[in-house]
Amino acid sequence: MHELETRDDFDLAQGIWLNAAHQGPLPRPALEAAQRALAQKAAPWSIRDDDFTAVPARLRAVIAGLIGAEQSDIILGNSASYGIDLLAHGIEWNSSDEVLYVEGEFPASVFPWLAMAGRGVHISSFRAAEGNIPSADELRAHLRPHTRVFICSWVNSFTGHTLDVDAVSRLCRDAGVIFVLNASQALGARGLCVRDMAIDAVTCCGYKWLLGPYATGFCWIDPEFRQRLAPPHTYWLPNVWGQTTGMESYSLRADLGARAFDVFAPASFLNSVPWTAALEYVARIGTAYIERHNAELVGTLIGALDRGRYGLVSPECGARRSAIVVIRSRNANVTAEELERELTNAGIHAATRNGALRLSPHFYNSRRQMERTAMVLNTLSWPS
pLDDT tens digits, one per residue of 112-155: 999 999 899 999 999 999 999 999 999 999 999 999 999 999 99
pLDDT at residue number 381: 86
Q: What is the pLDDT of residue 12?
A: 86
pLDDT digits (tens, 9 = 90+) for 212-265: 999 999 999 999 999 999 877 899 998 888 666 767 778 888 889 999 999 999
Q: What's the per-residue H, E or C state across the chain?
A: CCCCCCHHHCCCCCCEECECCCCCCCCHHHHHHHHHHHHHHHCHHHCCCCHHHHHHHHHHHHHHHHHCCCHHHEEEECCHHHHHHHHHHHCCCCCCCEEEEECCCCHHHCHHHHHHHHHCCEEEEECCCCCCCCCHHHHHHHCCCCEEEEEEECECCCCCCECCHHHHHHHHHHHCCEEEEECCCCECCECCCHHHCCCCEEEEECCCCCCCCCCCEEEEECHHHHCCCCCCCCCHHHHHCCCCCHHHCCCCCCCCHHHHHCCCCCCCHHHHHHHHHHHHHHHHHCHHHHHHHHHHHHHHHHHHCCCCCEEECCCCCCCCCCCCEEEEECCCCCCHHHHHHHHHHCCEECEEECCEEEEECCCCCCHHHHHHHHHHHHCCCCCC
Q: Using the predicted structure, report yes or no on whether residue 315 has a pLDDT greater than 60.
A: yes
Question: Which pLDDT score, from 0 to 100, does residue 14 have?
Answer: 81
For residues 290 and 282, is the Cβ–Cβ distance under 8 A?
Answer: yes
| Separation in Å, CA 75 to CA 63, 80, 201, 211, 216 | 10, 11, 11, 18, 11
Please report the pLDDT score of residue 253 as a whole number.
86
> Domains in the chain, ordered, with CATH?
7-18+287-378 (3.90.1150.10), 29-284 (3.40.640.10)
Length, in residues, of the chain = 384
> What is the pTM assigned to this prediction?
0.95
pLDDT tens digits, residue range 27-66?
999 999 999 999 999 999 999 999 999 999 999 999 999 9
pLDDT band with cut points at 50, 70 and 90 for residue 2: very low
Decide: 208 and 22 in contact? Cβ < 8 Å: yes
* Residues of the chain above pLDDT 70, percent: 96
**pLDDT value, residue 4:** 55
161-174 pLDDT per residue, tens? 999 999 999 999 99
Q: What percent of the chain has pLDDT over 90?
A: 89
**Integer Cα distance of 340 and 81 in angstroms:** 28
Neighbours of 381 (CB within 10 A): 5
Q: Give pLDDT, residue 1.
A: 34
**What is the pLDDT, as a whole number, of residue 133?**
98
If pLDDT is split at 50, 70 and 90, which confidence band does 384 have?
A: low
Distance, in Å, from the CA atom of 4 to the CA atom of 185, rounded to the nearest integer, reads: 21
| pLDDT tens readout for residues 323-353 | 999 999 999 999 999 999 999 999 999 999 9
- Angle made by CA atoms 117, 119, 123, in degrees to the nearest 5: 30
